[in-house]
């Protein structure tokens, strides 16, 4: 069985993908998400993935929480919005780190849970993964895990585990955008 390093974005997106891949690969889960803001939220999401990996008896590696790196790379693109260039750079930062760790631990394949979310375009995530994998001996597993009922099953499993479920992607920009959406929704309902 090949060793696969699974870059996870959060617990709710993970159990379906872990179950799906565990038949074919020997899995290690990798949590590297310095994009998450604030740190309290990071700790909350990390706590939930620890709980899941313990429950499923899967090894978990925590990457460095280095938000300075995120702001340095993604900050200049903040205004490009969710799904735009800032997300491609954010995906790249996390997938590149997954490749570094995969090399270190001898994993042969890297995959990510990022495509479970209906807010993430698989083509965008896979293009970044393909690009990072170029010239590497490690493969990137292209997928769209939301398909074939993947998102629905993930939601059901997240309910079963009673996971904390965030209402924004992770970074301070997505948090502000989500707050603005919710304020405008309230205004429209009042108006
Ligand atoms: S919206 Fe999500 S994927 Fe995009 S930059 Fe923010 S944390 Fe990263």
Q: SS in 3 state form for the chain? A: CEEEEEEECCCCCCHHHHHHHHCCEEEEEEECCCCCCCHHHHHHHHHHHHHHHHHHCCEEEECCCCHHHHHHHHHHHHHHCCCCHHHHHHHHHHHHHHHHHHHHHCCCEEEEHHHHCCCCCHHHHHHHHHHHHCCCCCEECCCCCCCCCHHHHHHHHHHHHCCCCCCCCCCHHHHHHHHHHHHHHHHHHHC
pLDDT band (50, 70, 90) for residue 184? confident
pTM of the model: 0.95
Q: Is 171 in the pocket of ligand 1 (CB under 6 A)?
A: yes
**pLDDT tens, position by position, 91-112:** 999 999 999 999 999 999 999 9
Q: Is 177 in the pocket of ligand 1 (CB under 6 A)?
A: no
pLDDT band (50, 70, 90) for residue 187? low
**pLDDT tens, position by position, 30-75:** 999 999 999 999 999 999 999 999 999 999 999 999 999 999 999 9
Pocket test for ligand 1, best of 72, 171, 175 (most atoms within 8 A of CB): 171
CA of 117 to the centre of ligand 1 (A): 12
Q: Which domains does the chain have, with CATH numbers?
A: 2-190 (3.40.50.620)
């Amino acid at each position: 069985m090949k060793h696969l390093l699974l870059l996870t974005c959060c617990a709710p997106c993970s159990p379906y993908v872990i179950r799906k891949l565990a038949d074919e690969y020997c899995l290690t889960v990798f949590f590297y998400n310095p994009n998450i803001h604030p740190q309290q939220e990071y700790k909350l999401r990390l706590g939930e993935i620890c709980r899941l990996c313990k429950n499923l008896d899967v090894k978990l590696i925590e990457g460095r929480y280095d938000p300075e790196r995120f702001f340095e790379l993604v900050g200049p693109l903040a205004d490009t919005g969710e799904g735009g260039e800032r997300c491609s750079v954010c995906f790249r930062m996390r997938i590149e780190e997954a490749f570094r760790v995969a090399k270190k631990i001898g994993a042969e394949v890297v995959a990510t849970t990022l495509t479970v979310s209906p807010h993430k375009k698989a083509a965008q995530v896979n293009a970044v993964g393909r690009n990072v994998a170029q010239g590497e001996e490690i493969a990137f597993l292209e997928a769209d895990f939301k398909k074939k009922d993947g998102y629905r099953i993930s939601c059901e499993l997240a309910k079963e585990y009673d996971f904390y479920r965030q209402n924004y992607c992770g970074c301070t920009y997505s948090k502000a955008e989500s707050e603005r959406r919710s304020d405008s929704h309230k205004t429209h309902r009042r108006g």
